[in-house]
Amino acid sequence: MDLDSRKIVAWEIHERMSSDPAARLFYKACLAEGIVAQPLVLRSDNGSPLKGASMLEILSRLGVRSSFNSNYPINGFVTIEDARDRALSFSRWYKTGHKHA
């Protein structure tokens, strides 16, 4: 999420938890938004993909600091479709219903 514009810049949900797709997504989002080499903070859940070696390498290379959030379902999702539906629903709510302070 871009904190200045408050827009969600990228999200994906994959079958398996891995830092490789997380790193690729983050890198592509940085390039697409033109924010490479700027001081950034990645706010995310505390999941292993976002703490894995591939992701940490991309963050380090881009000069990004991590900030973890635990406000995610403790027991996960039943199916990948459930996870994607929740992410899409959150994204829509965030763009249209969330009141930014």
- What number of other Cβ atoms are within 10 A of residue 82's Cβ? 13
Query: Token pair 């290379």 is at which residue?
Result: 61
Supply the pLDDT for residue 81. 93
Helix axes 53-62 and 19-33, enclosed angle (nearest 10): 20
Q: Averaged over 3-13, what is the pLDDT?
A: 76
| pLDDT tens per residue across span 25-52 | 988 988 888 877 666 667 666 666 666 7
Alpha-carbon torsion 7, 1, 73, 48, what sign?
positive
pLDDT confidence tier of residue 19, bands split at 50, 70 and 90: confident
User: What are φ and ψ of residue 82, in 5° steps?
Assistant: -60, -45
Q: What pTM was estimated for this model as a whole? A: 0.54
Confidence of residue 56 (pLDDT cuts 50, 70, 90): confident
- Per the prediction, the chain carries an average pLDDT of 77
Residue 1 has pLDDT above 70, yes or no: no
CB-based burial, 36-55: b 16+ in 10 Å, e otherwise = eeeebebebeeeebbbbebb
At residue 22, does pLDDT exceed 80?
yes
